[in-house]
Amino acid sequence: MIVMLRALLFVGGLFYVLMGVGFLLDPAGSGADFGIAPQGTMGLASIRADMTAFFLVAGGCLIWGAWARKGDPLLVSAALMGIALLGRIVTLVIDGPHDGFWLPMIVEGVTVVIALFCSRVLPHHAFEGED
């Protein structure tokens, strides 16, 4: 079971890393897939920096946790995706639904659940003074 969970984390992490690379190399095209349209060079820089960072960190921590068999990095991914999910829920409540609103919410929610579950199954870093 642990091997399958680690494989799932690794594949999910790879998915997010590839999305991050997409934002790095083609911010306008990748942004359009998310309903984001850059305004000039500053907009391109913001999409390239922020979205790339979000997805590379989230995916990288999933891969790191799976590869190193550590639960700690998975908490970073869970926090990032949980905050993104919260933002989508707030938008849904305040602004209403949009076409396809449920798919990213499901992906983020599943990522949170899997990352939190695996963070409990995999060992954590022992701090100095802990046994």
> What is the tens place of the pLDDT at every residue in 62-104?
999 999 999 999 999 999 999 999 999 999 999 999 999 999 9
Residue 60's domain spans which residues? 2-121
Q: In this prediction, what percent of the chain has a pLDDT beyond 90?
A: 91
Rounded alpha-carbon distances, angstroms, from residue 37 to 16, 69, 117: 20, 39, 35
Domain for residue 61, yes or no?
yes
Domain for residue 127, yes or no?
no
Tell whether the model's pLDDT for residue 130 goes beyond 60.
Answer: no
Tell me the C-alpha distance between 29 and 38, whole Å.
Answer: 10
pTM of the model: 0.91
Domains in the chain, number? 1
Tell me the C-alpha distance between 34 and 37, whole Å.
Answer: 9
pLDDT on residue 58? 98
Domain for residue 95, yes or no?
yes
Q: Which two tokens stand for residue 100?
A: 């396809």
